[in-house]
Amino acid sequence: MIILIGGEKGGTGKTTIATNMAAMRALTGRDVLLIDTDPQGSANYWAQSRDEEGITPRVACVQKFGKGLPKEVQDLASRYEDIIIDAGGRDSIELRSALVVTERLFVPIQPSQFDIWTLNQMEELVDTAKAFNPDLVAKVIISRASTNPSVHESNDTAKLLNDFDNLDLSESIIRDRIAYRKAAKDGLSIAELKPKDQKAAAEMELLYEEVFGDE
């Protein structure tokens, strides 16, 4: 399966989601490749940290850029059971190219009007991509949401997503928790962090089931 975590807005937790999905998938025994298309290389640094610490299972990671991405992804898909693409927070050649070959797109956004405005462009990009990739499924994940139960931004954001034809709302909400940053620093997924953060682990497990559950 080819999964793309991407979007136009930076700082929404794309790499956090991509690395967690990759590690959690590898923990089930699948042969997973993480592709980092962001020049910042955060996902690649995470994978290097994992290798340096000798953490198993290993998550292979490569950096790929440019218009040739679709052909390279299709070639790599013949060698790996699952590919997870971490695309940077901007409208890039890599994001547009990956949309042509991915099976499922997940677009993390923070629950703010600024992030919602960027979805208009993503709606257009997905609509265009479906001409070449008609089976593409695209979902928006509310990410880095407040952990304060009195803050209702997530509910307000969910209502505004009804206006999009090509983007559905994910059932999962990823909240802004320190545990995610702790895990990333050590090359871990939230499922591997000790002591375990039960709430963070439950969030990522729910998202994992949504991404891979019917595969």
Q: List the CATH code of the domain at 2-212.
A: 3.40.50.300
Q: How far apart are CA 143 and CA 29, in angstroms?
A: 27
Q: State phi, psi for 143 to the nearest 5 degrees.
A: -125, 155
Residue 158 pLDDT grade (very low, low, confident, very high; cuts 50, 70, 90) = confident
- The encoded tokens of residue 21 equal 């999905």
- Beginning with the edge strand found earlier in the chain, give each strand of the sheet holding 2-7 in spatial order: 60-63, 32-36, 82-89, 2-7, 104-109, 137-145, 168-175
pLDDT at residue 172 above 80? Answer: yes
Cα torsion angle, 44, 6, 212, 133, sign: negative
- Residue ranges of alpha helices (H) inside the chain are 14-27, 42-52, 69-77, 93-101, 113-129, 153-160, 178-185, 198-212
What type of residue sits at position 154? S
Write down the pLDDT at residue 90.
67
* Mean pLDDT, residues 60-67: 94
- HSE-CB for 165 with a 13 A CA cutoff: 6
pLDDT in tens, 42-58: 999 999 999 999 999 99
Write down the pLDDT at residue 10.
83
* Mean pLDDT, residues 25-53: 96
pLDDT in tens, 95-130: 999 999 999 999 999 988 788 888 999 999 999 999
Q: Where are the domains of the chain?
A: 2-212
Residue 112 CB contacts under 8 Å (≥ 6 apart), including other chains: 153, 157
Residue 190 pLDDT grade (very low, low, confident, very high; cuts 50, 70, 90) = very high
Residue 3 pLDDT grade (very low, low, confident, very high; cuts 50, 70, 90) = very high
In contact, 35 and 168? CB cutoff 8 Å: no
Helix (H) or strand (E) run with residue 106 in it = strand 104-109
